[in-house]
Amino acid sequence: MATSPTQAFATLRTPSGPVPEGAPAWNPQRPSAMPHERYRPAHDRVALPLTDRTWPSRRLERAPLWVPVDLRDGNQALAEPMDTERKRRMFDLMVTMGYKEIEVGYPSASQTDFDFVRHLATSGAVPEDVTISVFTAARNDLIDRTIASIEGLPRTVVHLYTATAPAWRDVVLGRSRTELHGMILDAAGYLMRRAEEQSGADIRFEFSPEVFNLTEPDFVLEVCNSITELWDASPDRPVIHNLPATVEIATPNVYADQIEYMDRHLARRDAVILSVHPHNDRGTGVACAELAVLAGAQRVEGCLFGNGERTGNVDLVTLALNLYAQGVNPMVDFSDIDAVREVVEHCNRLPIHPRHPYVGELVHTAFSGTHQDAISKGMAHHTKRAAELGVPAKQAPWEVPYLPIDPGDIGRTYEEVIRINSQSGKGGIAHLLHTHHGLDLPKRMRPDFSGAVQRATDASGQELSHKDLWDLFRTHYIAPAQDGPVLLNSWSTTETGPGEHRFSCVLTANGQERSYEGTGNGPLSAFTQVLTSAGIAVDILNYAEHATSVGPGSPAVAYAECRVDGETFWGAGWDTSILAASVQAVLAAVNRAGQAGR
């Protein structure tokens, strides 16, 4: 009996060990399970027009013209296309962010799309420095409807498209190269005439040879150049040729070669705005757009956070912030990226992945110990560097390990940068206690507390918030001073001479309450003498203290590492008096020893 791919996969996933008797053996050579030989390499499908490419040695030094197409290409990929309310919200967002050209719909496709363009024409929603673009297929009835939709709008781009690749010509449109070229020129001419009838309106034109990336370069060039001529493009009235990777089929270098070829060969080059429109089928839409800009593209169409057909259009947010992270002004405002995300999620009714570049809720967060340690040190270094330079931290050059940009620049908080679970280490834990609770744990104490955190997170499998960490710290190191075999019922210290202190107290040890006195060169050494008298041998190995915030009355914290009856324990104390905090810290260490021995 033949094995289905599902069965074969199930076999593959069999846990290590002998294959159960009777189970089919997994055979990686078996052609039917994953018939890769059905697919052809991109190099067999597209003619690569260039061997002396120059794009690899260029650099991205300024932002291209961004054109969001969420309201058209993004919208046509939604299960529930946007209504006017949602379209308007997204349009307003784009205007606020600084986009200057926005594709707003396919007005001949639906009444909703038509109505939205009419809404823009009559509501005064389009600022003077913003141009809207509308999309149409190359059919006269659809062009008529498109022209009707933009009546009264002072500036528009009408975007005409037709697929030009062989499979589309043969299978979808049923036209030869010559026939298709004729059909495109007819539509382009018709569009031009209809536009000329709209007196007073500034209508410019865009042409997209859909599936450019699978079309023969000479054919695209022939079609685009004839349109440039027909529309009589000039430097002050340029035509837009938009060259889509409608379905991404090759590595980004192939697309870049195709774009550089067009950049070099397009006629009236200074009268053409070379635009690209990558999709993301291979997951490399961003790389395609970036390399295409290196190769000569001046304009990029895409969607916010990469919505769009199938795996989406190229993500304009990632593109812009990638430039930003290289020190280039992206020309759009992402200073409150979560507000942008909220609107986009509302309008598209689609969630954004937690790992989405820049915006995902987890992308500025480190759970793992070594990353946290590096971030924590990097942030401290950054603050110090800013102080040395005499500039606010927000202006100091950014070089914090694992954080490509300062999350604060896009409105994200530092709170999310370090989060604690079982993968975390002492650096991150210390960072959170410091940031949120003012504790500066001594270096030698950090592994001890990290062990306690590890046990807690391993046991629960859960994340610990900074508040949980503080609670754990308190229970672990501070509370034992009040809850242990040794209790200090009352105490006082006196300085009896230079470098001489007396510690007097009533102490309960081994269930017996008694008064004690001890002396030493400091209050703590006098206290250890008391403890020795009570039968507890204590050495203070390490001690540290600090205020937890600035100003009078702010609590102090003390940390003490003590050897108690030969074993080492840490304790901590928390009090407005530094002396009280230090006594509690030693007592807590003693009681932790007592608890451990119970």
Ligand X SMILES: CC(C)C(=O)C(=O)O
Ligand Y SMILES: CC(=O)SCCNC(=O)CCNC(=O)[C@H](O)C(C)(C)COP(=O)(O)OP(=O)(O)OC[C@H]1O[C@@H](n2cnc3c(N)ncnc32)[C@H](O)[C@@H]1OP(=O)(O)O
Residue ranges at the known binding site for Mg(2+): 73, 277, 279, 313
- Site stretch for ligand X (CB under 6 A), options 111-119, 120-128, 221-229, 242-250: 242-250
d(CA 334, CA 316): 11
- Of these partners, ligand Y, ligand X, none, which one is at the site of residue 126 (CB under 5 to 8 Å by kind)? none
Query: Binding of ligand X at residue 278 (CB under 6 A)?
Result: no
Q: Which does 290 bind (CB under 5 to 8 A by kind): ligand X, ligand Y, none?
A: none
Q: Give the ranges where 394-493 is alpha helix by DSSP (H).
A: 426-437, 446-460, 466-473
Q: CB under 5 to 8 A by kind: which of ligand Y, ligand X, none does 241 bind?
A: none
Nearest-angstrom CA–CA distance, 122 and 259? 38
* DSSP label of 57: G
> Could you give the CA distance from residue 509 to residue 137 in angstroms, rounded to a whole number?
91
Q: How far is the CB of 41 from ligand Y (least distance, A)?
A: 24
- Measured from the CB of residue 141, what is the shortest distance to ligand Y in angstroms? 9
DSSP state at residue 75: G
Q: Does 242 bind ligand X (CB under 6 A)?
A: yes
208 binds, among ligand Y, ligand X, none (CB under 5 to 8 A by kind): ligand X
Closest approach of ligand Y to the CB of residue 277, in Å: 9
x-marked contacts with ligand X along 146-165 as a string, rule CB under 6 A:
---------------x----
Contact in structure between 559 and 589 (CB atoms under 8 Å): no
User: DSSP readout, 147-159?
Assistant: HHHTTT-SEEEEE
From ligand X, ligand Y, none, interface partner of 188 (C-beta below 5 to 8 A by class): none
Identify which range of 92-100, 240-248, 252-260, 551-559 contacts ligand X by CB under 6 A. 240-248
Q: What is the largest CA-CA distance in the chain?
A: 109
Binding residues: 73, 277, 279, 313
139 interacts with, out of ligand Y, ligand X, none, CB within 5 to 8 A per kind: ligand Y
Cβ nearer to ligand Y, comparing 162 with 454: 162
Note the residues at the interface with ligand Y (CB under 6 A). 73, 76, 106, 108-110, 137-139, 142, 161-162, 172-173, 210, 246
Instruction: Give the C-alpha distances (Å, rounded to integers) separating 479 from 70, 109, 444, 598.
Output: 57, 70, 20, 17
> Residue type at 542?
N
- Residue number, 106 or 516, with CB nearest to ligand X: 106
**CB 236, min distance to ligand Y, A:** 29
In the bound complex, what is the minimum distance in angstroms from residue 161's beta carbon to ligand Y? 5
- Closer to ligand Y by CB, 82 or 142: give it: 142
246 counts as binding ligand X under rule CB under 6 A: yes
Footprint of ligand X on residues 35-94 (CB under 6 A)?
Answer: 73
Q: CA–CA separation, 278 vs 314, rounded Å?
A: 6
Residue found under tokens 């673009």? 133
Is 108 a binder of ligand X (CB under 6 A)? no
- How many of the other CB atoms lie within 10 Å of CB of 430? 24
- Rounded distance between C-alpha atoms, residue 304 and residue 31, angstroms: 40
Helices (H), 271-352: 285-294, 316-324, 337-348
E strand residue ranges, 164-271? 202-210, 239-245
| Under rule CB under 6 A, residue 277 binds ligand X | yes
The single-letter code of the amino acid at 363 is V
Cα 403 off chain centre by = 10
Q: What is the CA radius of gyration of the chain?
A: 35
How many chain residues are in contact with ligand X, going by CB under 6 A?
A: 9
- List contacts with ligand X (CB under 6 A): 73, 161, 208, 210, 242, 244, 246, 277, 279
